[in-house]
Amino acid sequence: MKILFFANAKELTGVPQIELEVETPLDVKSLWEVLIDKFPEIERVKTICRIARNCEYVGDDTLFSNEDEVAIIPPVSGG
């Protein structure tokens, strides 16, 4: 799966995106575990970020597949 990082999540990982091949389905809790394992600093924003899958916000009960584009969305500030 492709995982995109924006704003301060991008600064904490140091990259705008990564490609992951993981055992699926992957739930939200496991996704964060994978991310924190790769980028420990991202745990700092875990509680304030939302997750989008294929351009739509998703809830904590979501299961991801390797075909998904997943985005880590920190609090927005457009306008």
Partner 1 sequence: MIVEIKLTDKPIQKSPPTTDGTIGATVEFCGIVRGEENGEKIVAIVYEAYAEMAKKMMRSIVERLGEKYHCHSVQIIHRIGTIPVGETAIYIRAQSMHRAESFGLVTEFLDQLKKDVPIWKSRIIKNLNFKNNECPIHSS
Write the burial class of residue 66 (CB in 10 Å: 0-12 exposed, 13-18 middle, 19+ buried): middle
Write the burial class of residue 70 (CB in 10 Å: 0-12 exposed, 13-18 middle, 19+ buried): buried
Confirm or reject binding of residue 20 to partner 1 (CB under 8 A): no
Nearer to partner 1, 19 or 23 (CB): 19
- Cβ distance 60 to 28 under 8 Å? yes
Nearer to partner 1, 38 or 57 (CB): 57
Confirm or reject binding of residue 77 to partner 1 (CB under 8 A): yes
Confirm or reject binding of residue 79 to partner 1 (CB under 8 A): yes
Contacting residues toward partner 1, per CB under 8 A = 4, 6-8, 11, 44-45, 48, 52, 55-57, 71, 73-79
